[in-house]
Amino acid sequence: MKVLNLQCAHGHGFEGWFASQDAFDTQLAGGLVECPMCGDTAITKLLAAPRLNLGNAKAPVETPPARLPATDSPEARWLRAVREVIAQTEDVGERFVDEARKMHYGEAEERGIRGQATPEQARSLAEEGIPVFTLPLPAALKETLQ
C-alpha cells in the first residue's frame, strides 16, 4: 500500500492511498484522482521522506515531534460546514427553484433545501426576494462517505 501526499493546482493538500505506484500513475493518467476539496484533477505528488526500518540501527536522536497539519485549517472548516449543510437540508435536485418559490409563497412547508439552479434562475429568485446562495460541492461529498 502506497500512501502519497498529494496537492491540487489550487494548493489543497490531501493524502491518497494506492495499491502501488503503478496504480497511482494509472489512476492519475485516467483523471480518476481528484481533490476532495474542489474536485480538481490536476494533481501533483508531493515529496515525502521515506521511512527506513533498520533493525539494528542505533536509537534515533531525540527530535521534536513533526508538526501535524492543522486540523482546523480553512479547508477542514469548509468541509465541516458543507457536511453540516448536507446533513441539515433536503436535496430536491432540479426541483430547487420550484420548491424555493412554493416555500416563499406559503404553498409548501418551510425547510432547508438544496439543489440545482442556473445562474439566471438564482438571479430570478433573488429578485423575488427569495434568498439563495451557491455552494459548490465536491463530487466526494455528493456521495455517502465510508
**pLDDT recorded at residue 12:** 87
- Is 0.75 topped by the overall pTM? no
pLDDT at 83 over 70: yes
Q: What is the mean pLDDT of residues 55-68?
A: 58
pLDDT band at 39 (very low <50, low <70, confident <90, very high): confident
**pLDDT recorded at residue 103:** 93
Length of the chain as a residue count = 146
**pLDDT recorded at residue 49:** 67
Contact 13, 69 (CB under 8 A): yes
Give the residue among 140, 80, 144, 83 at the shortest CA–CA distance from 114: 83
- Give CA angle at 76 (17, 19), nearest 5°: 0
Residue 119 C-alpha cell reads as: 445562474
pLDDT at 145 over 50: no
Contact 40, 10 (CB under 8 A): yes
Give the residue among 31, 54, 55 at the shortest CA–CA distance from 43: 31
Q: 29 or 48: which carries more pLDDT confidence?
A: 29
Beta bridge partners of 14: 6
Residue 58 C-alpha cell reads as: 542505533
pLDDT at 101 over 70: yes
**pLDDT recorded at residue 92:** 93
